[in-house]
């Protein structure tokens, strides 16, 4: 088969790779219905994160189970399944606590920008839909695999509650879906920080009540102005830079909550500043597996349509254009059809 391999900065190739096979008795092999490019794929693509060797890319997936190993009992060939970027046994103490992305036996699922994928720990990792979904539902079910689950975690970890005021830092797919999640959880006021018109429009569609175009301390000042000088109850940091993290902490009211779900690059927090900020901090790689059953249900019942973040659809062999379009911010998120 052919799949996406990253060789170095802005050097993504679509080339021949070994077709995955069952390697462990707990594995499943899936034929992908769709896959996509993640904002976090752009870190190594831009050379901000080193690529020590040619690396098969992609970690967002949904599709039909082709084959399962001998120890797999729940997942069956023919089912339509969705999983997350960390395989998890869903049985250890960390999984029981709802932190499957810190599973004691977790394995990163890579190489999903391809027609076929091997998923370890299939019974713990994959969630099957009741029926094979219609084509129209595929983008939203794919979104649940990472961006929607991560946006949901951002809202959950920032204690978003009915009636509260939320600010979202970052207008990538995760930030936009964090807006959708906050709306779904009953936030009354949702301030989206974005300076791109098409993203502002989608943020409003997902439930944003206010848009702030300023960044950094000017953005903080604007949020203070909008919240009577207090700050937001919950601020969802969906970028991962020093500026976005400080913006989030400074825009939160004393006693409020900051969640951070953007992979941090060069973020350093000063103890004294944290001490006087008086905020709760909670984040990390989203335990998407915890939310999969609920989010799949919301999608299948037409309650949410997170697939709207895909504003570019390409055949898989044009994966390089998907990266370029996202890198140049011409696209919010690129869906790839194998
Ligand atoms: Zn576990």
Contact of 262 with 240, CB cutoff 8 Å? yes
pTM for the model stands at 0.96
Q: What is the CATH number of the domain that holds 202?
A: 3.40.50.720
Cα-to-centroid distance, 96 and ligand 1 (Å): 7
The residue among 127, 153, 157, 123 whose CA lies nearest residue 141 is: 127
- How do the pLDDT tens digits run along the chain, 338 residues long? 999 999 999 999 999 999 999 999 999 999 999 999 999 999 999 999 899 999 999 999 999 999 999 999 999 999 999 999 999 999 999 999 999 999 999 999 999 999 999 999 999 999 999 999 999 999 999 999 999 999 999 999 999 999 999 999 999 999 999 999 999 999 999 999 999 999 999 999 999 999 999 999 999 999 999 999 999 999 999 999 999 999 999 999 999 999 999 889 999 999 999 999 999 999 999 999 999 999 999 999 999 999 999 999 999 999 999 999 999 999 999 999 99
> Are 129 and 184 members of one domain?
no
Report d(CA 84, CA 269) in Å as an integer: 29
Assign 50 to helix, strand or coil. Answer: coil
Contact of 60 with 35, CB cutoff 8 Å? yes
> Are 26 and 140 members of one domain?
yes
Cα-to-centroid distance, 91 and ligand 1 (Å): 5
Assign 264 to helix, strand or coil. Answer: coil
> Are 323 and 259 members of one domain?
no
> Are 139 and 153 members of one domain?
no
Q: Which domain holds residue 309?
A: 2-146+287-337
Decide which of 267, 283, 299 is a domain's last residue: 283
> Are 64 and 139 members of one domain?
yes
> Are 137 and 229 members of one domain?
no
| Number of domains comprising the chain | 2
Cα-to-centroid distance, 60 and ligand 1 (Å): 20
Cα-to-centroid distance, 157 and ligand 1 (Å): 20
pLDDT at res. 140: 98
> Are 217 and 315 members of one domain?
no
pLDDT at res. 223: 98
> Are 234 and 270 members of one domain?
yes
Neighbours of ion ligand 1 (CB under 5 A): 88-89, 92, 95, 103
> Are 273 and 303 members of one domain?
no
> Are 181 and 311 members of one domain?
no
> Are 51 and 157 members of one domain?
no
> Are 175 and 108 members of one domain?
no
pLDDT at res. 118: 98
Cα-to-centroid distance, 79 and ligand 1 (Å): 23
Sign of CA dihedral 159, 214, 210, 198: negative
Contact of 242 with 263, CB cutoff 8 Å? no
Q: What is the CATH number of the domain that holds 66?
A: 3.90.180.10
């Amino acid at each position: 088969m052919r799949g996406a391999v990253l060789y170095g900065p802005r050097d993504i190739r679509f080339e021949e790779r070994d077709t995955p096979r069952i390697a462990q008795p707990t594995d499943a092999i899936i034929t992908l219905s769709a896959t996509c490019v993640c904002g976090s794929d752009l870190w190594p693509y831009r050379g901000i994160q080193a690529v020590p060797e040619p690396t098969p890319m992609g970690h967002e997936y949904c599709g039909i189970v082709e084959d399962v190993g001998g120890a797999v009992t729940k997942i069956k060939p023919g089912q339509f399944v969705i999983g997350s970027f960390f395989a998890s046994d869903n049985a250890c103490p960390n999984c029981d606590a709802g932190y499957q992305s810190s599973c004691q036996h977790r394995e990163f699922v890579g190489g999903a920008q391809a027609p076929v994928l091997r998923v370890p720990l299939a019974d713990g990792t994959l969630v099957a839909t009741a029926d094979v979904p219609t084509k129209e539902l595929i983008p939203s079910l794919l979104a649940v695999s990472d961006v929607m689950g991560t946006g949901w975690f951002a809202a959950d970890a920032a204690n978003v509650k009915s009636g509260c005021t939320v600010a979202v830092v970052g207008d990538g797919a995760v930030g936009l879906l964090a807006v959708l999640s906050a709306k779904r959880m009953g936030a009354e006021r949702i301030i989206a920080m974005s300076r791109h018109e098409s993203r502002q429009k989608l943020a409003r569609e997902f439930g944003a009540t206010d848009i702030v175009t300023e960044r950094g301390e000017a953005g903080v000042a604007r949020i203070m102005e909008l919240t009577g000088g207090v700050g937001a109850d919950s601020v969802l940091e969906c970028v991962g830079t020093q500026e976005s993290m400080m913006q989030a902490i400074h825009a939160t009211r004393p006693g409020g909550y900051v969640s951070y779900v953007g992979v941090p690059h060069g973020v350093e927090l000063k103890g004294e500043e944290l001490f006087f900020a008086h905020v709760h901090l909670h984040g990390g790689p989203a335990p998407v597996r915890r939310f999969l059953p609920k989010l799949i249900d919301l999608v299948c019942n037409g309650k949410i349509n997170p697939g709207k973040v895909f504003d570019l659809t390409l055949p898989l062999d044009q994966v390089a254009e998907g990266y370029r379009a996202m890198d140049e911010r011409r696209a919010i998120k690129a869906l790839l059809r194998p």
